[in-house]
Structure 1
Amino acid sequence: MSQVCEWEPGTPYGAGAVVVYQGVTYKIIQPHTSEPGWEPPNTPALWGRMEQPAPGFQQQQGGGYNPGYIQPQPPSQPQYQSPPPPGPPQGGYGGDEKRWDQHQTQQVDIHHEERKKNWWDLDDHRKKQLEIGGGLVAGLAAVGAGYYAYHEHNKTEEEKKAMVWGLQNWLQEAEARKRQFYERGPSGPATWILSEGGQVPKNALPVGQQNGETLFVCRGFYEGGIQIGKVSPAFQKGAVVGYGFKEVSLPKYEVLVGDPHALRWVDARGRLNVQSLGARPVEGGREKDGTPLFVARVQHDNNVIPGKVSEKLDGACSACPI
């Protein structure tokens, strides 16, 4: 039986965890590492309130929320827990239709070619079909309740939908790449492999070092683009990318694996000129506007840090040591 403790930020909570917050007992729904602002009453996709108080604690009477637990589904049907934002729903379609961010299962088909489209390029009729049919549910589950509720509150509803749509389409592509790699083997000298939670796949390419720890290059979806960063099993929060002069932790990311003898580093300074390199750089991602990003590494004090470079940046950018 799991030990019952008071909820605290900065704490890893795994499957079966039970906590007490303000006298109310909660059981975990989605394993995660807590952060300030992710209190159980505010994150219904992470915690479910229990009817019975934990031994030694007094249950508060009345008020609060009491969400239902995830309903079982047939094994062939994927199950997602959609994290609705806190507070009363705003907007919606009216009537008995669910809001786009309150679905738990996807009931609408999305064609492979359609996933390559930007949310803004879809017509209004198709957008509504996706919203009503749970077409954004996989992206919502990947974003996570805490991130969605607390980091995206300044975005409009359409901006949130565009972000979630882009994230889940990248995840679909990443899962397909990973599946093909393990079924058919590598198709080139380097391949991006989906991972999470600080894990690094076998044959990952070492790119640098930080405080004596080996760093590997990774990439992940953030703010409408695919950003390049660093990952190490020593990192507690998974992968880290630099964006907007700050470090951002990503729970799901891809790691570059391949043959180190088939790749080489090329010295460069200032703004990248691909034609002058004399070699084909490894493309790792793209900015929100579609600008390609290439894998780079930079010297930072006594550390060597992986990062990104493009023809629009004045030099290489990386996530600084943490």
Structure 2
Amino acid sequence: MSTWAPGTQYNVGDVVEYEGFKYKIIQPHLSQGDWTPNVTPALWGRLPPDYVGGGGEKQGGGYQPAYDQPQQQSFQDERPPFDQQQSGNNWDEHQHQKVDIPHEEQKKNWWDLDDAAKKKMEIGGGLAIGVAAIGAGMFAYNHHQKSEEQKKAAVWALQRWLREGQDRTENFYRNGPSAPTTWLLVHGKSFPRDLIAGGEEGGQPLYVCRAFHDGSVQVGKAGANLDTGAVVGYGHKEVSVEQYELLVGNPNAVRWVEVHGQLKLDRLGARPVEGGHEADGTPLFIAQAHVENGIHPGKISEKLHKAFIPYGGSEKEVERYRVLCYN
């Protein structure tokens, strides 16, 4: 077990010591000086005093967490019950989550929660993880273009994406793959093994990624030559992301299918691999196309007449492309 330090990449399963207490990672991230474990419960969970064990280790380029360790104690357990708490903070001013979120409500869209549940989340910091993620530069929106309710819905959606990605990643490293492909949550350039190749540029491999952006989950590319590790396309722009998911799996279980023009799933002749989705729920699939002197992954849907490939600060529209499908 190591002492917490700024400027360090922490991943699933890592355990640190800070000011005499032990903490276990909740969300993978690159630490900053003001993100100490005691003030960032969205990132760290405090462990019980009798906890014995160490953090995970990185081996062979992929993270191998030690899941035989005792279960972490949730920070909610150390706080008084919700009905005993008083809070004058606005919904986006909480540093701590003081309310448990029922599992069935975590799966709902913000608009599907009843008013009582929404108020409980707002007062008790139920949007705290999403707000912390916004502060980490993972999510952007124009304040003047969205109502308060739209902002809450977007933060809630981001929070759900993070939870689902964390659960899926932890389950993968604990139990191994349960499907031909899996999306794993990563930060920066912490690349796992068994990545699905999405293309190449200048002799450097590019991988298939996806990330949350403005209420949607957009498909893009990741690689060691990219500043933050990955980019996605959105609104005809190339958006750099630090927290994203990478597609891993068995390369023999998938293949690229040639497409020209608008995508018609009933004519594809194969089942496309799950990609992301637009804010309105429209499914996005994984595309691949030649752009300049490279091959780059991007997105396609049945509503788009061409594939959209993030490249050179914008999105390139390509009429001839390939779609990643299962064999």
TM-score by length of 2: 0.70
Question: Given that residues 211 and 218 in structure 2 are in contact (C-alpha distance below 8 angstroms), is that contact kept between their aligned partners in structure 1?
Answer: yes
| 1:133-212 equivalence runs, <5 A | 133-144=124-135, 151-154=141-144, 155-212=146-203
Q: Does 1:289 align with 2:256?
A: no
- 1:147 to 1:46, Cα distance in 2 relative to 1, 3 A: farther
Q: Where does structure 2 lack aligned partners over 5 or more consecutive residues?
A: 1-5, 9-28, 48-72, 77-85, 314-327
Which residue pairs with 1:265 in the alignment?
256
Evaluate the alpha carbon distance shift between residue 78 and residue 235 of structure 1 in structure 2; reply closer, same or farther with a 3 A threshold: farther
1:269 Cα offset (Å)? 1.1
- Residues 311-322 of structure 1 correspond to what in structure 2 (within 5 A)? 311-321=302-312
Query: Are the aligned partners of 2:40 and 2:95 in contact in 1 as well (CA < 8 Å)?
Result: no
Is the 8 Å Cα contact of residues 217 and 230 (structure 1) preserved in structure 2? Answer: yes
3-state SS of the aligned residue for 1:256?
A: strand
C-alpha deviations, 1:196-236, integer Å up to 9, x for none?
A: 11222111111101232210000011111111000112222
Change beyond 3 A, Cα 1:175–1:269:
same
Q: Secondary structure at the match of 2:260?
A: coil
Higher strand share: 2
Tell me the distance in 1 between the aligned counterparts of 2:138 and 2:251.
Answer: 36
For structure 1, list consecutive stretches of 5 or more residues without a partner in the other structure: 1-12, 16-30, 34-44, 49-68, 80-94
Q: Would you identify which runs of 4 or more consecutive aligned residues in structure 1 move more than 6 Å?
A: none
Residue of 7, 30, 51 corresponding to 1:14: 7
Does 1 or 2 have the higher relative contact order (CA < 8 Å, sep 6+)? 2
1:312 Cα deviation from its structure 2 partner: 0.4
Distance 1:293 1:312 in 2: 9
> How many angstroms apart in 1 are the aligned matches of 2:131 and 2:187?
16
The offset of 1:96, in angstroms, is: 5.3
- Provide TM-score, normalisation by structure 1: 0.71
What is the CA-CA distance between 1:153 and the residue it aligns to? 2.8
Residues 75-114 of structure 1: pairs in structure 2 closer than 5 A? 75=47, 76-78=73-75, 97-114=88-105
Find the aligned partners of 2:206 and 2:169 in 1 and give their Cα distance.
21
Distance 1:127 1:77 in 2: 22
Residue by residue over 1:24-53, the C-alpha shift from the partner in whole angstroms, topping out at 9 and shown as x without a partner, is xxxxxxx879xxxxxxxxxxx9759xxxxx
Q: How many positions carry a matched residue from both structures?
A: 249
CA contact (8 A) 2:275 2:286 kept: yes
The whole-number CA distance in structure 2 between the counterparts of 1:245 and 1:46 is: 34
Which of 222, 227, 238 is the matching residue for 1:247? 238
Question: What letter corresponds to residue 143 of structure 2 in structure 1?
Answer: H
**Residues 40-119 of structure 1 mapped to structure 2, 5 A cutoff:** 70=39, 74-75=46-47, 76-78=73-75, 97-119=88-110
The CA deviation at 1:315 is: 1.3
Distance between the aligned counterparts of 2:301 and 2:236, measured in 1?
17
Contact 2:189 2:229 in 1 (8 A): yes
Higher Cα radius of gyration? 1
1:71 shift after superposition: 8.2
Give the secondary structure class of the aligned counterpart of 1:221: strand
Query: 1:171: how far off?
Result: 0.7
